Structure 1
Amino acid sequence: MKKITHVHKFMSILTVLFFLLSTSLHSNGQSKKEKLDKVLEKYTEYSQFNGSVLVAENGKVIYKKGFGLANMEWDIPNKANTKHRLGSITKQFTAMLILQLKEEGKLKLDATISEYLPNYSKTNGNKVTIHQLLTHTSGIPSYTSYPNFFKDMSRDSYQPMEFTHFFADSTLQFQPGEKFRYNNSGYFLLGVIIEKITGKSYEEALQERIFTPLNMKNSGFDHHSTIMKNRATGYEKRGDGFINAPYLDMSLPYAAGSLYSTVEDLYLWDQALYTNELLSKEGMDLFFGEHMPTGNRFYAYGWSTGEQKIGNTDNKVYSISHGGGINGFNTIISRFPEDKHLIVLLNNTGGTNLGEISNAITGILYDLTYDMPKKSLAKALFELINKKDLNSGLKWFKANKDSEIYALKENEFNRIGYQFLQIGKLKEAIAVFKINVDRFPKSSNVYDSLGEAFLKDGQKDLAVVNYKKALELDPGNSNAEKIIEELENKN
């Protein structure tokens, strides 16, 4: 028998260890990919996801894929390079431009709006600072919350400064800096300030300062008129199917929500944020700073930061994230800087619960337990009521509301309630909204929706009761406040 020397023995052990390690890594990689496939395929099967996904682990992409259709009319599938509208993920790019201008000495965060936009109304322009616009603490009402915004304004095109006149003289919801209230008007104004300081359009500033340096060739300001390859069409759920999302002129979301991108380009963005290519270290610290508490997290500049649960466990991890929603699309980007993990989900059927999907993926990334998707209780109820009648639907709901097969989600019940409302089925709408109120009694939105249904049904007293509850839970609900005033004045 051949004698094994100490050197040979060491090399043999090393070889075995290397083999075991590489096999383990490969196995884990395959296991995670299989788990991701299983979760996302099930969400797609249940019509709860339709879009593009990218997952990175330790800074390296381990998964990217498209699910469902980018265009349903032509059966064109979603892919990793499909371009989706981002909605409010746009805000982090706007914030980056503002901080670049600050770093160049062209802007001060504690300066007021009027200092950079002398033609803007002094009513609020002398009171609100750039920092307050960045952190949603300005008190300026969000124009997208105006009762008739989508009905009367969303299809029209405006020049940025022209559009600011719609909210420039609005009564502030609170004293600037006093509290946090998410606000699209603030980021719209930041875009106008960027244009004023740079002498270029918001779109040109983005391209020159961020997209070109980072080689983000598949990102930009979305224009409806542009012929753009690989662009996803936006859809919205209606009953058990989908419709084309209502048209929205992209001059309105502007610096608060008008960008498009791909999961691949957002990975490039994520990686650049670990460097000082766009900002100094001090600037990056400011970008991700804990500027304003929002519940158990903080709002930075265009980002939400803080600890979040991993999967369905009690374990937590620090994350930097933000979501977006715009007609026919909703999106989320979640960064885990301690491990350089990344999750990007871009969905083109609007209104789905991407936070839930992202949470399951987080569980997979950290090798912890997570929940598999469940069927939509709202969707099944909607179909049964349409097929039979309201009483049959409510009886079935009572028997299945605590089922392990179905999930009861506030946004889905709200959606089917409005579908009944739109087709004049007021009793059905009221019944669905009552389910939401019963299950989510701390949500302002469920009372607002029920109030609207009662109002359409002519039950004004009950409408006032529910609108008052909505206002109590969300004092910034200007729509509820206005309707209460109108109804009580009539009486």
Structure 2
Amino acid sequence: MKFKLYYLPLLFLLVSCNDKSNSKTFSLNNNTQNSDSDFFVTFNPLDANYVAKKKNDIAFYYKKLIGNKDYFGSFLVAKNGKILYENYQGLAYIERKDSIHKNKPLHIASVSKVLTASVILRMVDAEKIALDDKVSKYLDHFYFDDITVRMLLNHRSGLRHYGYFIETDVKWDRKKRITNQDILNLINSGKIHLESKPGTRFSYCNTNYALLALIIEKVSGMRYHEAMQELLFKPLGMKNTFVFDYEKHHDTVSQTYKANRMRLAFDHLDLVYGDKNIYSTPRDLLKFDLATYSENFYSKALQKEIYKGYSYESKGEKNYGLGIRLREWKEAPTLTYHNGWWHGNTSSYITMKNDSLTIICLSNKMSYRTYQTKKFLALFGNYPVKLDNSDEGSGGE
């Protein structure tokens, strides 16, 4: 099942053209939306006094919770499409004294999953993929016939993390960088057993998103890197976002560091994409986030599938939708977010649809402070979070 190349530019139009009278979505331009762009969403304007107060409050707590003198990273808070506060500090490449600024892409780690899922979900709305299609429909000779696209998206496939099974099952040579196709070939060899029966329980697993990237390639007829550019980054004006290509980018991108500023080398897992390996900025990610409010970006029916929980085997508030993490709070609206951690890169993306609120934090020097982002919700409503640093060490994916 492959798109013809001349057809590819039309993919993003398939859904939005269903209702021309409503085919507006959004764009971000100097903190405001551009109504002449392909995507436009109307938000209520914010009072100037409200903006000034929130900016001061956020700045105070940013310094307290995240932005100490040793922090490297980018931080942004926006409400109703308007940036209330942003901060950029530290170095993207210490050895070259390359500073982090608003247009400097950093590795977003597992927040990449949100963007990979988005392209898959857009293909679902375009009726090029069905959520409950079997993976074997798209990936020839896929070994586990019961696994569906939905199970990859919500981490209920039962597959094991490729970073583990290449060590325990096949003794992969670490001198050789593994690729997405290598992962698929190993699974199809029959040498890799499942962790659990497909559809029976949640287990967060990067393998799921490495396979989703291959499905994007099969359906689009393009390499993942080009598909993400043509089907997501370019239409949304995400000019400082790209998929990492080792041969092209390894010595020019922002580097990653331990907490002591020792640079971490790329390793045998750094060619795998879909689960990670997207570089972006908070401003670009805000452009994406605002698009998700449009019914022409995701249909109403699909939005219901994305932002609901699928895993209730264990009690608790933590859950996972389709490419998005959830905290299903009883006393407050569900927190929809995704964190990331790869090498020394940490990331956090929070999107609260009920409050039209976006909080984004990216860092390229190992720090748990990135995961303090959820505490800023306390400035915007009655959420079960506190503005202190009592759990600085918690976080991760």
Q: Quickly name the TM-score band, shorter chain normalised.
A: 0.7 to 0.9
Q: Distance in 2 between matches of 1:70 and 1:134?
A: 31
Q: Deviations over 1:82-102 (max 9, x none)?
A: 211111111122222222223
Give the C-alpha shift of residue 256 in structure 1: 1.0
Partner of 2:376: 361
Q: Deviations over 1:325-368 (max 9, x none)?
A: 1122010100111110110000111351433x213322233498
Partner of 1:45: 68
Counterpart among 166, 177, 186 of residue 157 in structure 1: 177
- For the pair 1:345 / 2:332, whether they are aligned, the reply is no
Give the C-alpha shift of residue 27 in structure 1: 4.5
Partner of 1:296: 317
User: Structure 1's 154 and 84: CA in aligned 2 closer, same or farther, altered over 3 A?
Assistant: farther
Partner of 2:164: 145
Aligned 1:324-473 pairs, distance under 5 A: 324-355=340-371, 357-366=372-381, 370-373=386-389, 409=393
Give the C-alpha shift of residue 69 in structure 1: 2.3
Q: Distance in 2 between matches of 1:290 and 1:266?
A: 23
Q: Deviations over 1:289-344 (max 9, x none)?
A: 333347313311110124459xxxxx634321011111220101001111101100
Give the C-alpha shift of residue 270 in structure 1: 0.6
SS in 2 for 1:292: coil
Counterpart among 228, 236, 254 of residue 273 in structure 2: 254
- For the pair 1:210 / 2:228, whether they are aligned, the reply is no
Q: How many residues align?
A: 343
Q: Distance in 1 between matches of 2:92 and 2:200?
A: 43
What is the percentage of aligned positions where both structures have the same residue? Answer: 25
Q: Taking structure 1 as the reference length, what is the TM-score of the superposition?
A: 0.63
User: Structure 1's 156 and 229: CA in aligned 2 closer, same or farther, altered over 3 A?
Assistant: closer
Partner of 2:147: 128
Give the C-alpha shift of residue 184 in structure 1: 0.8
Q: Distance in 2 between matches of 1:327 and 1:154?
A: 16
Q: Which amino acid aligns with 1:138?
A: S
Partner of 1:316: 332
User: Structure 1's 174 and 163: CA in aligned 2 closer, same or farther, altered over 3 A?
Assistant: closer
- For the pair 1:282 / 2:297, whether they are aligned, the reply is no
Q: Which amino acid aligns with 1:172?
A: L
Runs of 4+, deviation exceeding 6 Å: none
Counterpart among 149, 166, 170 of residue 186 in structure 2: 166
Q: Please, which moves more after superposition, 223-232 or 64-73?
A: 223-232
Give the C-alpha shift of residue 229 in structure 1: 11
Give the C-alpha shift of residue 268 in structure 1: 0.2
User: Structure 1's 251 and 196: CA in aligned 2 closer, same or farther, altered over 3 A?
Assistant: farther
Q: Distance in 2 between matches of 1:78 and 1:306?
A: 31
User: Structure 1's 289 and 307: CA in aligned 2 closer, same or farther, altered over 3 A?
Assistant: closer
More helix by share: 1
Q: Deviations over 1:253-307 (max 9, x none)?
A: 3111121110000000010000134332223332323333473133111101244
User: Structure 1's 229 and 215: CA in aligned 2 closer, same or farther, altered over 3 A?
Assistant: farther
Counterpart among 259, 262, 268 of residue 243 in structure 1: 262
Q: Distance in 2 between matches of 1:281 and 1:140?
A: 30
Q: Which amino acid aligns with 2:67?
A: T
Structure showing greater radius of gyration is 1
SS in 1 for 2:207: helix
- For the pair 1:225 / 2:247, whether they are aligned, the reply is yes
Structure 2: runs of 5+ lacking an equivalent: 1-45
Preserved contact between residue 222 and residue 250 of structure 1 (Cα < 8 Å): no
RMSD over aligned Cα atoms:
3.0
**Structure possessing the higher relative contact order (Cα contacts under 8 Å, 6 or more residues apart):** 2
Partner of 2:107: 85
Q: Which amino acid aligns with 1:358?
A: T
